[in-house]
Structure formats: C-alpha cells, structure tokens
C-alpha cells in the first residue's frame, strides 16, 4: 500500500498539509479530489520526491515503478508508435541485448524475460492505446513533431500507460482529451490492474474508473472507499451529523454558560459555577470547516425570439478559404440546448466561432437576428485577458455605471475572495481566470450562450455551480465539452461534427459513449490481426525450438506455484476461526491475494497456450 504518515508541507509560508495520514491499498484506483489550490498536484510532487517533505513520510513499496505523464510533450522526429514503444525501457534494453548476445543460455533467458513482460505483443498494445486516444494507423507512423501540443500530450499519456507502472499518477488527464478520448480512458482505467492515483474534477471518470477517493481539504487527507458519488453521499451524511452534534453542543454550552453567568457572583453557588466553568473548558468545540468560497453564477432573463433562432443553409466555413466544414444545413431554436460532439480537430470550435460571429462564411448563408446578444467562452480567451490588470478592473470596465462595492459583490459571487479581486490577472490561477471569463460572459446578458470547454480549470464544486446556473438560464445553449456529467445535465440535443459535416445524433450521451467504445474495440481487434502476423514471424525467427521448450517449462512452473498459492489461500478460508470478527484485516488480505493470484494464473495459462501453439506450429 501507499502510506501517508503524519505528513506536513508548506510552501511560501502557506501550509498545505498538516500532520495528516492516510493509506491507499495496493491495486486500488483512487481519485484525488479537493478544491483548486488545496495541494493535490503538490502531493504528486512529494510522492515523486520533486519536493522535500517537511515532516512525516510517504511509504511506497521499494520495487514499485512510479509513472506519470511527462511535463514536456514529445516533439522529436520519432514516430508516435516508436515513441510509445520506447517508454518500456526494459523491453528496449532486452531487444537490444538479444541482437548482440552470443551466449545461448543468456539468449534463452532474454527471451524468457521478453515473454514474461509480454514483449512480443508490444506493437499491438502500443497501437491499441494510441488508437484509443484518437490516432489513426497513418498518424502512428508520423513523427511527433508534426502534431500540435495538445495531441503530443496524448502521446505522452499513451507512453506512460504503455509503460505499465506499478503506481500510475495522472494529473487532470482529460483536460487535453475530447469526449471520445475521455470515454476510452475511463474504460482503460477500469481494466488497469495496478495502483492508480488520478487528480480529476471529471465526475464521470471519478464514478466509472475509480474504487476509492482521497479527499484533500483543510490540510487534511481522508480516504473513502467507493466512487465519487459514494464519497459525496458519505461526506454529506458526515457533515449533517457533525452539524447536528455541533448544534447540540452549542445548546449545552449555552445552558451551562447561562448557569455560570447567573450564579458565579453568589457565594452559595460559587463552587457549582466554578465546576461548570471547568466543564466548559474541557468541552472541545466542534468546528465546521468552511471551505473556499463556492461561486454562484446567475444569468439575467434572456429575450425570447421567434424560431428559428439561427439558420445555416448550405454553409461552408474554414480558414484562408480552406473549408473545414461544408454543406451545413442546421436550424437552432430559442429553447435548444445543444451539445457538440466529435474528435478534436474535426471542427467543433470552428462551428462555435461561426455562430459566435468570430469568423465568416466561405459559402452559403447564416441567418441570425440582428438584436441577438451572443455570449462566447473559449479556452484561448484565457490568454486574451489583460495580464497587468486586476479582476476588479476587468469587471469594472464592463460595469462602469455600477458603484465599486457592487462590482466587488459580483466578483464575490463568482468565488473571488477580497484578497484576489485586486491581484493582477497574470498572478491568478487557471481556475480563477476561467471564473473571471465566465463572469464577463454573464455580465453581457446573452440570449444565446456558446461555451467551448468551460470546465477545464474548474474544480467539482465550481462545475456544479455552473450546472445550476445554466439549468436556470432561459436562453439557448451550445456546449462543447468532454465532460459527460456536464453534457448529460445540460443538453437535450446532440450534433456530431465529423468528416467535414455537422449532423444530428438521435441518441443520448450514453448511447454515443457506447458507440465510441464499440468502435475502439473493433479497431483494437483489427490492430491485433494486422500485427499478429508480424509478431509471430518475429517470434519464430528469433526463438529456437529449444528456447520455446524452456519457456514452456518456466510457464508450467509458474502455473504450479500459482495453483499452490491458490490452494493454500482457499484452505485458510475454510478454517473455523477465519471469519472471526477479530480477523477482519486478514480476511481482506486473503481475498485480495486470492483475486490477484487467480488473475495471474489465468494470464499464465494464456501464455502457456501461446507457447504450446508456437511449438506445435514451429516446423509448419
């Protein structure tokens, strides 16, 4: 397990962790949650020893290989596939050694180890991961340098997944993924066999892909079993219980204090009053921690226009007269709440910019009422904020008729504390900048709201506040988001942007997710078929019949060991005292060990069958 024992850490005089303890069981997939700025990324840096802990210790099994996404996206001339394959350092070294080694025994051992780490299916596995993250077979043969930063970050993610670390650390991995990539990653993490710690504000991922939550709040870590919804329910119950206990204690303290106030001056009651003062001193106050301020966005009532609100007829749009989308025939009505889906690069943002009047048509027509006020939010606008101006100055520039106190009240409603309102924008966090942009959009009083990935820098509480505000919003909505939880709660119409066109999708977001995963599954099968011939030829050309028989013997030995361990664990479970209440910890250990052992046995049986098949086909 990973053990956080009484850890403390502060930076720049600000304490982030204070003598807090928690543990993560080996093999668990755990979501790390908490408000922005709580110290989640700092915790990762402490685990990887990039920062020095102030007190306590973090215990990780000695031989654990820890993997995280590289901060620098690969930009070399290596192909995507070769870049990902190179992430498995041991495999690369063994393959190199196999080409130069001359000792027959060492060659045999090299090939045995290559089989142990499933090296001969490496191309298929790496290709499957890249496919899941949105790269075609042709893309995988292209150099990393030919892709944009966001796509190269996907290659970095693919590399760490392929390296199969014992402890996988992922920090907001869905921020550079589209919906399709996010759905694939959720599915991949569900099946990942090793330990995972993932920092995420994506509620869908935290519900589908993890079985534990590590909550960081008020300098304290607390572990919860189950997914995010389970954690959320448990935390709410705990808070309600704590509030109830606090109310009872407050009433009790008030009653005792009343007695003290009435009788402390009377000699006959002085002793009793003094006794009650001691009771008050011993009574430890129950404190309900106040977390960071949660934003509250509120949109003004939108003007109702006659339908259709927007009409596109045989429309084409692009850049420098190069069409990205063409022959678009779409109508948007005043009450529509539209979700735009499609792989990054297909044209979702281009479509959004067209409706927002940020770019012009190449061909066709676009009809929008002249008086329609359009609010537009996109990630690139974060860079358009004036870095040397404060959040207050940005909002005041839009609300010059308002008195300063009302402007500050608006900023406060967006989650800005008094000390951050007057900070220069360049000193604000990504989440604070995103909330400032959203507030500026709200101030415009839009009748049509276009949001392009609005939640990338928002924590869960801010996302939920945005969902509440948008559900109350009376205007039309166009939403681009990889967050299934957000789409499910805000959208009633889906448009798919694909192959240069825009079309209706008749199902809901769950049906679209299933469609994406089924498509990825079919591509994975095709990849395996394509690579199977190459890997088999490579295997037979480098392995003699003697090597194969040695590997078969090693595999049989492993299966016997797993069978014995399985039998020993099952016999222990049959013991009369095994299920005693005092034996709870051992029961969990045995169940975990048995499950893991059965998985290892099944994997080894598949390896044995493959080697036996190769021996049978050796001379064919």
Model pLDDT for residues 160-201, shown as the tens digit of each residue:
999 999 999 999 999 889 999 999 999 999 999 999 999 999
Q: Using 50, 70 and 90 to split pLDDT, how confident is the model at 462?
A: confident
Rounded-to-integer distance, Cα 183 and Cα 366, Å: 33
| pLDDT tens track for 304-318 | 899 999 999 999 999
- Confidence check: pLDDT of 572 > 90: no
504 in Cβ contact with 494 (< 8 Å): yes
Which of 449, 476, 506 terminates a domain? The answer is 506
Residues 502 and 525 in one domain: no
- Specify whether 332 is located in the same domain as 363: yes
Which residue, of 485, 506, 527, is where some domain finishes?
Answer: 506
| Average confidence (pLDDT) over 271-294 | 72
Average pLDDT over residues 559-568: 86
Q: Are residues 278 and 385 in the same domain?
A: no
SS3 237: helix
Residues 455 and 573 in one domain: no
Structural domain ending residue among the three candidates 245, 267, 282: 282
Q: Is the pLDDT of residue 34 over 60?
A: yes
pLDDT score for 293: 63
The verdict on 354 and 438 lying in the same domain is: yes
Structural domain harbouring 247: 233-282
Residue with more model confidence, 584 or 204: 204
pLDDT tens digit sequence for 351-382: 999 999 999 999 999 999 999 999 999 988 88
The Cα–Cα gap between 501 and 565 comes to 57
C-alpha to C-alpha distance for 369 and 307, rounded to whole angstroms:
10
Q: Do the domain assignments include residue 209?
A: no
Do both 488 and 564 map to the same domain?
Answer: no
Would you say residue 600 lies in a domain?
yes
User: 84 lies in a domain?
Assistant: no
Q: Is residue 494 part of a domain?
A: yes
Can you tell me the distance from the alpha carbon of 527 to that of 534, in angstroms, rounded to the nearest whole number?
11
Residue 152 located in a structural domain: no
Number of domains, the chain: 3
With respect to residue 439, please indicate whether it lies within any of the assigned structural domains. yes
Instruction: Tell me: do 495 and 524 sit in the same domain.
Output: no
CA distances 219 to 10, 14, 40, Å, are 10, 10, 10
Same domain as 487, residue 369: yes
Tokens of 82: 């070769």
**For residue 473, is it within any domain?**
yes
Token pair recorded at residue 460: 């869960």
β strands within 218-360, DSSP E: 220-225, 310-319, 322-332, 337-341
What is the rounded distance in angstroms from the CA atom of residue 98 to the CA atom of residue 118?
15
Q: What pLDDT is stored for residue 523 in this prediction?
A: 61
Shared domain check, 404 and 361? yes
Q: What is the DSSP letter of 183?
A: H
pTM for this one? 0.74
Asked if residue 328 and residue 389 are part of one domain, the reply reads yes
- DSSP line for 526-589: HHHHHHHHHHHHHHHHH--HHHHHHHHHHHHHHHHHHHHHHHHHHHHHTSTTTT-GGGHHHHHH
Lowest average pLDDT, out of 482-486, 526-530, 561-565, 579-583, goes to 526-530
Residues 444 and 557 in one domain: no
* DSSP E strand stretches across 200-321: 212-217, 220-225, 310-319
Note the pLDDT of residue 540: 41
Instruction: Answer yes or no: is pLDDT of 326 > 90.
Output: yes
In a domain, 74, yes or no: no
pLDDT of residue 12: 80
What's the rounded mean pLDDT across residues 107-117?
80
Residue 349 sits in the same domain as residue 433: yes
């Amino acid at each position: 397990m990973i053990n956080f024992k009484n850890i403390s850490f502060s930076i720049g005089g600000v304490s982030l962790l204070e003598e807090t303890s928690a543990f993560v069981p080996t093999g668990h997939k755990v979501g790390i949650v908490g408000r922005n700025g709580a110290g989640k990324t700092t915790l990762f840096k402490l685990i990887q020893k990039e920062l020095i802990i102030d007190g306590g210790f973090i215990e990780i099994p000695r031989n654990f290989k820890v993997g995280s996404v590289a901060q620098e996206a690969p930009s070399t001339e290596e192909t995507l596939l070769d870049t990902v394959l190179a992430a498995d350092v041991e495999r690369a070294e063994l393959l190199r050694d196999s080409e130069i080694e001359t000792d027959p025994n060492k060659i045999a051992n090299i090939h045995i180890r290559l089989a142990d780490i499933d090296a001969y299916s490496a191309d298929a596995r790496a290709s499957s991961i890249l496919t899941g993250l949105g790269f075609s077979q042709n893309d995988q043969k292209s150099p990393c340098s030919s892709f944009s930063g966001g796509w190269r970050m996907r290659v970095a993610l693919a590399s760490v997944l392929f390296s199969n670390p014992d402890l996988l650390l992922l920090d907001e991995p869905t921020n550079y993924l589209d919906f399709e990539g996010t759905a694939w990653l959720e599915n991949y993490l569900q099946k990942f066999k090793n330990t995972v710690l993932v920092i995420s504000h994506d509620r869908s991922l935290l519900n589908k892909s993890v079985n534990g939550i590590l909550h960081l709040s008020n300098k304290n870590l607390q572990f919860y079993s189950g997914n995010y919804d389970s954690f959320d329910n448990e935390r709410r119950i705990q808070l309600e219980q704590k509030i109830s206990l606090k109310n009872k204690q407050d009433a009790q303290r008030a009653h005792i204090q009343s007695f003290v106030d009435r009788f402390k001056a009377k000699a006959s009651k002085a002793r009793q009053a003094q006794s009650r003062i001691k009771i008050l001193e011993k009574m430890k106050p129950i404190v309900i921690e106040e977390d960071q301020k949660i934003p509250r966005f509120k949109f003004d009532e939108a003007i109702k226009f006659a339908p259709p609100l927007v009409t596109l007829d045989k429309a084409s749009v692009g850049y420098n007269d190069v069409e990205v989308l063409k022959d678009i025939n779409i109508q948007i009505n005043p009450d529509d709440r539209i979700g735009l889906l499609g792989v990054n690069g297909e044209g979702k943002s281009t479509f959004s910019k067209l409706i927002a009047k940020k770019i012009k048509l190449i061909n066709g027509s676009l009809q929008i009422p002249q008086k329609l006020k359009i609010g537009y939010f996109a990630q690139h606008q974060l860079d358009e904020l004036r870095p040397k101006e404060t959040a207050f100055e940005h909002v005041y520039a839009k609300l010059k008729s308002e008195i300063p106190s009302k402007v500050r009240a608006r900023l406060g409603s967006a989650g800005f504390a008094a000390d951050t309102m007057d900070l220069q924008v360049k000193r604000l966090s990504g989440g604070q900048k995103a909330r400032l942009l959203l507030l500026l959009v709200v101030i415009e009083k839009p009748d049509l709201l276009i949001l392009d990935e609005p939640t990338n820098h928002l924590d869960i509480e801010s996302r939920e506040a945005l969902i509440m505000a948008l559900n109350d919003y009376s205007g039309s909505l166009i939403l681009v988001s990889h967050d299934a939880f957000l789409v499910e709660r805000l959208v009633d119409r889906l448009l798919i942007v694909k192959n240069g066109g825009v079309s209706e999708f008749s199902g809901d977001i769950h049906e679209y997710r299933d469609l994406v995963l089924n498509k990825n599954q079919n591509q994975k099968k095709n990849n395996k078929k394509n690579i199977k011939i190459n890997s088999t030829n490579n295997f037979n050309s480098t392995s003699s019949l003697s090597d194969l028989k040695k590997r078969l013997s090693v595999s049989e030995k492993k299966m016997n060991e797993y069978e014995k361990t399985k039998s020993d664990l099952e016999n222990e479970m049959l013991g009369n005292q095994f299920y005693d209440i005092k034996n709870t910890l051992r029961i969990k250990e045995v169940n975990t060990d048995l499950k893991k052992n059965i998985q290892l046995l099944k994997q080894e049986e598949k390896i044995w069958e493959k080697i036996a098949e190769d021996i049978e086909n050796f001379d064919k």
